[in-house]
Amino acid sequence: MMTNELVINARPHETRVALVENGVVVELHVKRGAEQELVGNIYLGKVLRVLPGMQAAFINIGIEKPAFLYVTDVYNDLHHWEQIMLQEEDGGNNLETDINSRMRFIKESDINIEGLLQEGQNILVQVSKEPLGTKGARATSHISLPGRHLVYMPTVDHIGISRRIEDEKERMRLKKLMQKLRPLGAGFIVRTVSEQAPKEKLKIEMEFLTKLWENIQSKRETSSAPSILHKELTITLRAVRDLFTREIDRLVIDSKEEYQSILEFIENFAPNLRYSIELYEGREPIFDAYSIDIEINRALDKKVWLKSGGYIVIESTEALTSIDVNTGSYVGKRNLEETIVKTNLEAVKEIAYQLRLRNIGGLIVIDFIDMDREVNRERVFMALKEALEKDRARTTVLEMSELGLIEMTRKRTKEDINLFFTEPCLYCEGRGRLKSPTTICYDVFRDLEREWVSGEEGKVYVLVNPEIEKVLKEEERYSVIELEKRINRRIVIIAKNDFHLEQYEISLQ
């Protein structure tokens, strides 16, 4: 029997969360020790610059790059905001619409950013999107505080029910319940996990979220801009809150400290789930035991093979991601059209899977193999829409053109894992990509754990490129010390000038 699992590999230097459905990794979330996590954080910011031509402003929130704030993230029009919420009712912190719809709304309403904000003004904002590449964080003044069952929107008078709750009677029950329980004028989104939830559970969480908002308001009164007023949960606890639903059979984690933290967190929100939480204590690294690292490495390849012998090629540029479908070695059994349709339908499932796994967002153009019959083009289009239904990120798909192209958008909230794990290749001056030094260091750590966890005392020698030696001895020195304790061996790092950046050797000598 196949199961759905949350598998968490937690280390001081890096935490990785994998959502595994029926043995297949469908989502991957990674947080590295030195990196800031900004989405969901609430700041008292200061307006640095107002941009009338873009109907936006730059806000100083106390980080390196100022945050970007659109006019519709400031303008307090209830009807417009309710429409946004209806589109995003199960989206936690990521409450935003696309730029084009914002600009259409601005034109129709004839509002302007200058009438709402002035330079030097203090403003309460929440980060809705992490900085990506050269772009700063995206911010909104429409605050949302997500809990496990509810999302509280203190600035909006609205009740929304997750669209994934399909039973009409249950939707009506939840809506009536929220109308009775909520404070006057407060806004709430009822999340998918609330289906069949008892009144008392929703009431307790509602009281917790409203109290949290009161504390944020109190901090605002005594703080000066820029300053942080509220920090979002860690990646581990966010995964428990947002991903650990009734569809997940169990959560497995390999850190005793994080395991205890999860148990304490779940005791308050869903104590019945504590029996589905498991501490992994096997000798083999957890992502090896679940074959997850294999899937991650596969997600770094441009070419992805299909079972039939066909393949897809995924190429990312600054403007868009292109996906090309090819028959490869698949020749079919009857005729060319049938072969093409079969390859396209198989590619649809793989494309939907890769979009989720790789965190690909923005504009995506898919070049399917040309089909002569209109009915087959419609069949592939509908199959793609159906395959994308499981995706938690919002997608918009346009019908297939006569050239066999499908244009679509997928909501971008974090970096593509290919860009996250790699960097421009220094050997070919940026025309290709290599694993980053940090990623290579963590590969070394995992290999050391694989071979020498709880082994005999002694030394282990690690031969690496000089660039990797420098990172291991400087930026990652504390991780090396922690790993020495874990494997009960002293790690000796030796630089080899003739080694490729990604090359390393581990031995006892």
Would you state the torsion angle of the CA atoms of residues 265, 269, 274, 277, taken in this order, to the nearest 10 degrees?
Answer: -60
Contacts of 164 (CB under 8 A, 6+ apart): 90, 192
Record the tokens describing residue 403, joined without a space.
């050239």
Helix ranges (DSSP H) in 97-167: 99-109
Q: Highest mean pLDDT range out of 101-110, 343-352, 454-463? A: 343-352
Q: Highest mean pLDDT range out of 255-264, 295-304, 313-322, 336-345? A: 255-264
Q: What is the mean pLDDT of residues 52-64?
A: 89
Contacts of 268 (CB under 8 A, 6+ apart): none
Name the pLDDT band for 48 (thresholds 50, 70, 90).
very high
- Residue 144 CA from chain centroid, whole number: 18
Question: How far, in Å, CA of 10 to CA of 7, rounded?
Answer: 10
Name the pLDDT band for 509 (thresholds 50, 70, 90).
low
Instruction: Give, in order, the Cα–Cα distances in Å from 131 to each of 97, 179, 262, 357, 457.
Output: 17, 37, 28, 20, 44
Name the pLDDT band for 421 (thresholds 50, 70, 90).
confident
* Residue-wise DSSP of 476-501: THHHHHHHHHHHTSEEEEEE-TTS-T
- Choose among 242, 228, 280: nearest CA to 63: 228
Amino acid making up residue 204: I
Of 43 and 98, more confident: 43
pLDDT for position 58: 93
Instruction: Detail the DSSP E strand segments found in 319-477.
Output: 321-326, 362-367, 395-397, 405-410, 422-424, 433-435, 459-464
Q: For residue 64, is pLDDT > 70?
A: yes
- Residue 253 CA from chain centroid, whole number: 19
Question: How far, in Å, CA of 346 to CA of 374, rounded?
Answer: 18
Strand partners, 311: 305, 326
pLDDT for position 80: 44
Q: For residue 410, is pLDDT > 70?
A: yes
Question: How far, in Å, CA of 94 to CA of 85, rounded?
Answer: 10
Length of the chain in terms of residues written: 509
10 Å Cβ neighbour count for 321?
A: 22
pLDDT for position 130: 84
Record the tokens describing residue 309, joined without a space.
């012998």
Question: How far, in Å, CA of 61 to CA of 287, rounded?
Answer: 37
Contacts of 247 (CB under 8 A, 6+ apart): 4
- Choose among 379, 366, 320, 282: nearest CA to 7: 282
- Choose among 243, 15, 49: nearest CA to 148: 243
Question: How far, in Å, CA of 141 to CA of 32, rounded?
Answer: 28
pLDDT for position 243: 85
Instruction: Give, in order, the Cα–Cα distances in Å from 310 to each of 86, 123, 296, 364, 406.
Output: 39, 53, 21, 20, 19
Name the pLDDT band for 438 (thresholds 50, 70, 90).
very high
Record the tokens describing residue 436, joined without a space.
């980053």
Q: What is the pTM of this model?
A: 0.75
For 276-298, the pLDDT digits (tens) are 899 999 888 999 999 898 888 88
Q: Highest mean pLDDT range out of 132-146, 210-224, 411-425, 447-461? A: 210-224
pLDDT for position 476: 93
Whether residue 210 contacts residue 178, with contact meaning beta carbons closer than 8 Å, is answered with: no
Record the tokens describing residue 421, joined without a space.
């794990």
Of 280 and 71, more confident: 280
Question: How far, in Å, CA of 467 to CA of 464, rounded?
Answer: 8
Whether residue 260 contacts residue 10, with contact meaning beta carbons closer than 8 Å, is answered with: no
pLDDT for position 254: 93
Would you state the torsion angle of the CA atoms of residues 235, 236, 237, 243, taken in this order, to the nearest 10 degrees?
Answer: 90
Name the pLDDT band for 2 (thresholds 50, 70, 90).
low
Q: What is the mean pLDDT of residues 154-173?
A: 88
Whether residue 56 contacts residue 248, with contact meaning beta carbons closer than 8 Å, is answered with: no
For 216-268, the pLDDT digits (tens) are 999 999 999 899 999 988 889 888 888 887 778 899 999 999 999 999 888 87
Q: For residue 461, is pLDDT > 90?
A: yes
Q: Is 152 helix (H, G, I), strand (E, B) or coil?
A: strand
All domains in the chain, ordered by first residue: 4-36+248-294 (3.30.420.60), 42-233 (2.40.50.140), 299-417 (3.40.630), 432-507 (3.40.1260.20)
Of 72 and 430, more confident: 72
Question: How far, in Å, CA of 494 to CA of 337, rounded?
Answer: 58
Q: For residue 489, is pLDDT > 80?
A: yes
Of 404 and 473, more confident: 473
Question: How far, in Å, CA of 425 to CA of 434, rounded?
Answer: 5
Q: For residue 355, is pLDDT > 70?
A: yes
Residue 421, Cβ density class (10 Å: 0-12 exposed, 13-18 middle, ≥19 buried): buried
